């Protein structure tokens, strides 16, 4: 297990072995994730992005879902207007 100290400016030096292993280079974005009583950090690298591509895929397209939702909103609005005219 590797360890490091936080500087007075709140900076943390990632050990060289881990930087090499996970492709962390100057300018690499790091996401901090709080989980239970832990803080995880995930470097956002090409490898990471490729590993999560398609993770949230669905059988229906987002466009289809939005069009369906829009049609339902239109139907509700028309029904509300008809009710107002009749009443």
- Encoding tokens for residue 2? 């590797």
19: part of which helix (H) or strand (E)? Answer: helix 16-22
Indicate if 20 and 50 belong to the same structural domain. yes
Confidence at residue 37, expressed as pLDDT on a 0 to 100 scale: 93
Domain of residue 68, residue span: 57-87
Confidence at residue 53, expressed as pLDDT on a 0 to 100 scale: 66
Q: What is the value of pTM for the model shown?
A: 0.50
- Total domain count for the chain? 2
**Residue-wise pLDDT tens digits, 11-49:** 999 999 999 998 899 988 888 999 999 998 888 877 766
Query: Which domain CATH number covers 30?
Result: 2.10.260.10
Indicate if 49 and 10 belong to the same structural domain. yes
CA 1 to CA 57: how far, in whole Å?
Answer: 35
Please, are residues 10 and 25 in contact by the beta-carbon 8 Å criterion?
no
Indicate if 63 and 82 belong to the same structural domain. yes
């Amino acid at each position: 297990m590797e360890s490091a100290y936080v500087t007075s400016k709140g900076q943390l030096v990632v050990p060289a072995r881990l930087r090499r292993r996970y492709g962390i280079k100057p300018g690499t974005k790091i996401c901090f994730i709080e989980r239970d009583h832990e803080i995880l950090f995930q470097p956002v690298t090409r490898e990471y992005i490729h590993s999560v591509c398609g993770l949230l895929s669905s059988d229906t397209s987002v466009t289809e879902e939005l069009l369906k939702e829009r049609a339902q909103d239109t139907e509700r609005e028309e029904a509300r207007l008809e009710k107002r005219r009749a009443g």
